[in-house]
Amino acid sequence: MRITIKDIARKVGVTPATVSMVINNNPKISIATRERVQKAIKEMNYRPNFTGRSLVKGRTNNIALVAPLMSSFFTMEIVRGVESKISGTEYNLVLYSTINKEKSISEICYEGRADGVIFVSVKPDDDMLKDFERMEIPAVFVEEVVDGFPGVKFNNVKGAYVATEYLLKTKRKNIGIIIGKEGMWVTERLKGYRDALEDNDVEFKPERVARVSDDTFGEGKEALRKLLKENKKLDAVFCASGDITAVGVIQEARQLKINVPEELGVVGFDDIYLSGLTHPAITTVNQPEFEMGTKAFELLMEVLTSSDKKVKKVISFDPELVIRDST
Amino acid sequence: MRITIKDIARKVGVTPATVSMVINNNPKISIATRERVQKAIKEMNYRPNFTGRSLVKGRTNNIALVAPLMSSFFTMEIVRGVESKISGTEYNLVLYSTINKEKSISEICYEGRADGVIFVSVKPDDDMLKDFERMEIPAVFVEEVVDGFPGVKFNNVKGAYVATEYLLKTKRKNIGIIIGKEGMWVTERLKGYRDALEDNDVEFKPERVARVSDDTFGEGKEALRKLLKENKKLDAVFCASGDITAVGVIQEARQLKINVPEELGVVGFDDIYLSGLTHPAITTVNQPEFEMGTKAFELLMEVLTSSDKKVKKVISFDPELVIRDST
DNA sequence: TTGTATGCGTTATCAA
DNA sequence: TTGATAACGCATACAA
């Protein structure tokens, strides 16, 4: 027995239209009726129905967020960033997982579920992308940036560059890299690594690259063993795949009685919460996920409120090398 | 220029009602028209509008989740658990932060924004609670369980008991505890600690309790120093406030040249991801947040689909002591 | 088998 | 200043 605008109208003895105008602070309503209506609203604890309002207004007040939530800390931090900004606005955040990626995306695109969408590490196929434009649903891309859309990205090339450069500065010459198997970030970080080597006249050697399929403890341990087998004089490892890989590397080194940082320098990537808490604390490339999330939301708001809807700004975040004890 | 059911109807030369029946697989429609309609739907890439459907059906297909997202890993894991179950269903997950707790809760209660709600570590006040029943919005409570509502909780008393008991078994007698300042869990874990001491004829001493306001690295360090000052023979610390506290304790001990576990046994709480990765790896009480999340969603679905709406089941998760190297 | 009419809860336009 | 009416997109009971 949900209370509607009609119940209030009946109780006060006016029409629903009048009640609606009171709710929306329409100045045309006389103070007398306004007060009677407001009194009834309070008494009955009435609040306008969200769905009814959405239908007539043609907007949902929902922001969709599509992200591989299940797979990484990275994504969760971005969600927190978005969340921190969205509360206080009139918008709600609706989560869509990438488990049924196509389904999620098409629901957002064709079913009018959201006024805007934030994609994190996800890209709809080209047809769908066109449809988002056609449907005039503003979209912002985080990490995986798409041409013609606003986005928030991280300078992976530079991040890998400064990490490698720092290892070179600390007199290490035989620097291995542990990195993922595919994705834009893999290409970019590998480029940063190679650029730094080249700029410092150190030869790039393919056997110093170890591939992992995920940023995990176990993969880190395994990758170090592989690198050591193929590189007898290895004196540093850049864990471009992430900090958890770095933790694995450090632990494996401990087991192999290799001192970190004396015999082996280790640099991670991401600067997740635990990186400063391990022993030795991990030197790493800070990637400000939280801020990237807040920025993504701000960008989306900019599109949503701007008149031309043609905001295509791409914000790039620069890395910061956080030097701790593992180098 | 959004496509509606009318556009399809016009194109095919039938009425919207017919199109609607095709969409909903109403068997009354002849195969011939059904196919013509479906063809048009495909051609125009039509999908029924979510809001319109919600309004007429009287249900939103949204599940609200209210949680202190910003403050803990714990909560994020629960979100992941819920998320893992919800994708694949017809429901969407809408996040509500606790930054504007009252506002969030009343929106869900009075504005028809969701078909059900999951509260994590949050409890609406009593009036609102009654209103949730009145509005017939199913609610499930996680962690902070509420009388008369279904819930998912964790056996904190037992968790603290087994942790303390294990320390006693390893021949430590002067066991400090680091714990929060308020909340049901604080009372419960403290009780488990005291019960274990009592059952083993060890006297409880107030000076062995250190209070922290959050599960953080810094608070852990500080708490250890305080405990050591007041307890010269301290030989173990139970970090009931969480694993991050335990990391802080271990690091502070290292700085003070106190060997863990030889001179000081350390047990944490939660078993977060990093607990197994530190050195020494932390012995801790596993709290299955992810599973608690999945269970909360399953419970909510049970209420949503059951006829009587009076499911009041409370699922209790038992602790598991994960023994690693810090004890 | 299909069309007509009505309603879900709200807002907006126009008339009174 | 307020009321009557239509509309948002869809589903359903009933009529044809």
Q: How many residues does chain B have?
A: 327
Output the six-digit token pair for B75: 């909560």
User: Bridge partners of B139?
Assistant: B117
Those of residues 44-63 in A touching chain B at CB distance below 8 A are 45-52, 54-55, 60, 62
Name every chain B residue with its beta carbon within 8 A of the beta carbon of A93: 94-95
pLDDT digits (tens, 9 = 90+) for B131-141: 999 999 999 99
- E strand map for chain B: 62-67, 92-97, 116-120, 139-142, 151-154, 175-179, 209-211, 236-239, 265-270, 283-286, 314-317, 320-322
The residue behind tokens 């490698």 is: A164
* pLDDT attached to residue A286: 97
Nearest 5°: phi and psi at A147?
Answer: -55, 130
* pLDDT attached to residue B236: 98
Query: Quick one: DSSP state of residue B29?
Result: S
Q: Which pTM was predicted?
A: 0.93
Judge whether B73 and B272 are in contact, CB under 8 Å.
Answer: yes
Q: How far in angstroms lies nucleotide C12's C1' from the CA of residue A73?
A: 47
The CA distance from A133 to B214, in Å, is 45
Q: Predicted confidence band at B74 (pLDDT cuts at 50, 70, 90)?
A: confident
Contacts of residue A146, Cβ cutoff 8 Å, sequence gap at least 6? A123, A129
**Is the model's pLDDT at B292 over the cut of 80?**
yes
Peptide bond into B138 cis (omega under 30): no
* pLDDT attached to residue B308: 65
The CA distance from B310 to B148, in Å, is 9
Judge whether A237 and A265 are in contact, CB under 8 Å.
Answer: yes
- Considering only CB atoms, A88 lies closest to which of B95, B100, B106, namely B100
Task: Note whether A89 contacts B: Cβ–Cβ < 8 A.
Answer: no
The residue behind tokens 């909340």 is: B183
Q: How far in angstroms lies nucleotide C7's C1' from the CA of residue B56?
A: 8
The CA distance from B285 to B164, in Å, is 10
**CA angle at B225 for the pair B223 and B229, rounded to the nearest 5°:** 120
Q: A126-134 and A101-110 helices cross at what angle (nearest 10)? A: 20
pLDDT digits (tens, 9 = 90+) for A214-235: 999 999 999 999 999 999 999 9
Nearest residue to A188 (alpha-carbon basis) of A218, A158, A157:
A157
Q: How far in angstroms lies nucleotide C8's C1' from the CA of residue B109?
A: 19
pLDDT digits (tens, 9 = 90+) for A133-165: 999 999 999 999 999 999 999 999 999 999 999
Output the six-digit token pair for A303: 């599109």
* pLDDT attached to residue A175: 98
Output the six-digit token pair for A98: 């990438």
Better pLDDT: A312 or B165: B165
Those of residues 239-268 in A touching chain B at CB distance below 8 A are 244, 247-248, 251, 254
Q: Low-confidence residues of chain A, pLDDT below 50?
A: none
Q: Does the CB of A1 fall within 7 Å of any strand C atom?
A: no
Q: Predicted confidence band at B71 (pLDDT cuts at 50, 70, 90)?
A: confident
Judge whether A299 and A254 are in contact, CB under 8 Å.
Answer: no
Q: Does the CB of A16 fall within 7 Å of any strand D atom?
A: yes
Q: Does the CB of B57 fall within 7 Å of any strand D atom?
A: yes
How is B209-245 classified by DSSP, letter by letter? EEE-SSS-HHHHHHHHHHHHHH-TT--EEEETT-HHH
The CA distance from B249 to B216, in Å, is 10
Judge whether A68 and A120 are in contact, CB under 8 Å.
Answer: yes
Averaged confidence pLDDT in chain B? 95
Of all nucleotides, the one whose C1′ comes closest to residue A24's CA is: C11
Q: Does the CB of A61 fall within 7 Å of any strand C atom?
A: no
SS3 B255: helix
Long-range contacts of B203-210 (CB under 8 A, 24+ apart): B205/B231, B207/B231, B208/B174, B208/B175, B208/B176, B208/B177, B208/B234, B209/B176, B209/B177, B209/B179, B210/B176, B210/B177, B210/B178, B210/B179
Query: Quick one: DSSP state of residue B208?
Result: G
Nearest 5°: phi and psi at A318?
Answer: -95, 150
Output the six-digit token pair for B291: 């599973």
* pLDDT attached to residue B309: 67
* pLDDT attached to residue B326: 97
* pLDDT attached to residue A279: 86
Q: How far in angstroms lies nucleotide D10's C1' from the CA of residue B299?
A: 30
**CA angle at B248 for the pair B190 and B169, rounded to the nearest 5°:** 50
Give the mean model confidence (pLDDT) for residues B227-237: 97
Name every chain A residue with its beta carbon within 8 A of the beta carbon of B251: 277, 279
Those of residues 62-81 in B touching chain A at CB distance below 8 A are 62, 69-70, 73, 76, 79-80
Interface test with B, best of A92, A106, A239 (most B CBs within 10 A): A92
The alpha carbon of A182 is separated from its chain's Cα centroid by a whole number of angstroms, namely 18
Of all nucleotides, the one whose C1′ comes closest to residue A46's CA is: C9
Task: Write out chain A in H/E/C secondary structure.
Answer: CCCCHHHHHHHHCCCHHHHHHHHCCCCCCCHHHHHHHHHHHHHHCCCCCHHHHHHHHCCCCEEEEEECCCCCHHHHHHHHHHHHHHECECCEEEEEECCCHHHHHHHHHHCCCCCEEEEECCCCCHHHHHHHHHCCCCEEEECCCCCCCCEEEECHHHHHHHHHHHHHHCCCCCEEEEECCCCHHHHHHHHHHHHHHHHCCCCCCHHHEEECCCCCHHHHHHHHHHHHHHCCCCCEEEECCCHHHHHHHHHHHHHCCCCCCCCCEEEEEECCHHHHCCCCCCEEEECCHHHHHHHHHHHHHHHHHCCCCCCCCEEEECCEEECCCCC
Task: Note whether B135 contacts A: Cβ–Cβ < 8 A.
Answer: yes
Answer yes or no: do B100 and A111 touch at CB < 8 A. no
